Amino acid sequence: MKVKVDRDLCTGCELCVDTCPDLFEIVDDLAKEKVDEVPEDLEDCAKEAAEGCPVEAISIEE
């Protein structure tokens, strides 16, 4: 699984970082993914962050 943040849509609300700090960080006031491949044990966390993003800036590739 891969996770991607669309930085053109991101508002920097940090919800993804609060939800899953092992996968997301804030760089230049916007969210950025920390990893290319999501570890299996963090897949649910990645999905929760994507579903919770208020501007739908996070996409998941299975």
The predicted-structure confidence for 5-58, as pLDDT tens digits, reads as follows: 999 999 999 999 999 999 999 999 999 999 989 999 999 999 999 999 999 999
Amino acid making up residue 16: C
**Which two three-digit tokens encode residue 13?**
């609300």
Residue where the block lists tokens 């092992």: 22
The reported pLDDT for the residue numbered 26 is 98
Q: Give the chain's domains with CATH numbers.
A: 2-61 (3.30.70.20)
Q: Which two tokens stand for residue 52?
A: 């919770």
Confirm if 31 and 14 have CB atoms less than 8 A apart: yes
Cα angle for residues 58, 24, 15 (degrees, 5° grid): 65
pLDDT of residue 36: 87
